Amino acid sequence: MSDLSRPQGPKIIAVANQKGGVGKTTTSINLAAALVEAGKRVLVVDLDPQGNASTGLGVESDAREFTTYELLLEDISLDEVIQETDFDGLYIVPATIDLSSADIELISNEKRSFLLHDALRQTAMDAFALDYILIDCPPSLNLLTVNAMIAAHSILVPLQSEFFALEGLSQLMLTIREVRQSGNKDLRIEGVVLTMYDRRNNLSQQVENDARSNLGDLVFKTVIPRNVRVSEAPSFAMPVLTYDTSSKGASAYRALAKELISNNSI
């Protein structure tokens, strides 16, 4: 089905939450894998100097010659920075620690907030025929995350099902509001997804109730359970969908992909 609201290429989604360890990278990797399993062509942009998404998708450090740093700051062909992964239809722009200096190097650059926006909209991008681009953001509201928010059509927010989960959200929403005023007025919130959910734990249920009563339909129906297979998969350089295809974690990310696809009609 053609999507008239998205005439020029892939839907770009930034996976962001400035709180560390809430499941941004896990969600980027596994949602991407689930979208690919559903027949979509997906690019993951690793925008975190920690490079966890790159490792989790099997790009070893010595295979990261050209990275997000070059994508943002150098004039380099997309064929060199976009790497094919072992999974058909799943691509990645990897990251290394080099990216940690980008924040400072960008300060004097007039287009500093728009570098990722422009990089992802080069006409050479069309050749990859992507349906989705997922940007794995660092745990900060720095210039890299602002680049992701300016580049993206929407933000997907992983929310860890634990105490204080909702506390950081107001700061994130404030930043989203500022980005809407300064460079991306159409930026939407794709949704909030509860991660590391434990049904036996009252706290998880309380966070879910709070999130649903405060944020309503913005919260995805799908909840990602805490599942040890999900946390083991990256050390085998695989999404959980291939590491343990019948695990609860794999099923949950499949359900999330289905919900996303149905919300977007893409």
**Which of positions 115-154 make contact with ligand ATP (CB under 6 A)?**
139
Q: How far is the CB of 115 from ligand ATP (least distance, A)?
A: 21
Regarding 249 and contact with ligand ATP (CB under 6 A), the answer is: yes
Under 8 Å between Cβ of 12 and 151: yes
User: Per CB under 6 A, which region of 34-42, 47-55, 93-101, 117-125 contacts ligand ATP?
Assistant: 47-55
User: Per CB under 6 A, which region of 60-68, 116-124, 210-218, 226-234 contacts ligand ATP?
Assistant: 226-234
Nearest to 97 by CA among 61, 144, 58, 50: 50
DSSP symbols for 192-255: EEEESB-TT-HHHHHHHHHHHHHHGGGB-S--PBP-HHHHHGGGGTS-HHHHSTTSHHHHHHHH
Q: Residue 49 burial (CB < 10 Å; 0-12/13-18/19+)? A: buried
Q: How far is the CB of 221 from ligand ATP (least distance, A)?
A: 16
Regarding 195 and contact with ligand ATP (CB under 6 A), the answer is: yes
Under 8 Å between Cβ of 187 and 155: yes
The helix (H) or strand (E) run that includes residue 72 is helix 68-73
Give the 3-state secondary structure of residue 31: helix
Q: How far is the CB of 120 from ligand ATP (least distance, A)?
A: 20
Q: Which is nearer to Mg ion, 125 or 161 (CB)?
A: 161
The footprint of Mg ion on this chain (CB under 5 A) covers a number of residues equal to 3
Nearest to 165 by CA among 212, 229, 129: 212
Q: How far is the CB of 204 from ligand ATP (least distance, A)?
A: 11
Under 8 Å between Cβ of 243 and 233: yes
Q: Which is nearer to ligand ATP, 78 or 207 (CB)?
A: 207
Query: Of 12, 18, 22, 24, which lies in the binding site for Mg ion, with binding defined by CB under 5 A?
Result: 24
Regarding 226 and contact with ligand ATP (CB under 6 A), the answer is: yes
Nearest to 29 by CA among 135, 111, 123: 135
Q: How far is the CB of 265 from ligand ATP (least distance, A)?
A: 27
Q: Which is nearer to ligand ATP, 116 or 224 (CB)?
A: 224
**What six digits make up the tokens of 192?**
């909030």
For binding to Mg ion (CB under 5 A), which residues are involved? 24-25, 52
Query: Could you list the residues that contact ligand ATP (CB under 6 A)?
Result: 20-26, 48, 50, 52, 139, 195-196, 224, 226-227, 230-231, 249
